[in-house]
Amino acid sequence: MEFKNTIFLKISAANPTLDIMAMNENFQCLMAAQVPILEIMQVMILLNAMPKEYDGITQTTLQTQEKSKLMFNYVQDAILMEAARHKSGQPSSKLQTSCLL
Predicted pLDDT of residue 93: 52
List b or e across 69-97, with b for residues whose CB sees 16 or more CB atoms inside 10 angstroms: ebebeebbebbeebbeebeeeeeeeeeee
Please check whether residue 48 lies inside any domain of the structure.
yes
Over pLDDT 90: what percentage of the chain? 46
* Average pLDDT score over residue span 80-89: 84
Convert the pLDDT of each residue in 42-70 to its tens digit: 999 999 999 988 888 888 888 888 877 78
Please give the pLDDT value at position 55: 86
Residue 91 falls within a domain, yes or no? no
Burial of 59 (0-12, 13-18, 19+ CB in 10 A): middle
pLDDT at 64: 84
Query: What is the pTM for the complete model shown?
Result: 0.80
Residue 76 has pLDDT above 70, yes or no: yes
User: Most distant CA pair in the chain: distance in Å?
Assistant: 43
Domain tally for the chain?
1
CA angle 7, 99, 14 (to 5 degrees): 45
Domain that holds residue 40: 2-86
Q: Domain for residue 10, yes or no? A: yes
Asked if the structure places residue 101 within a domain, the reply is no
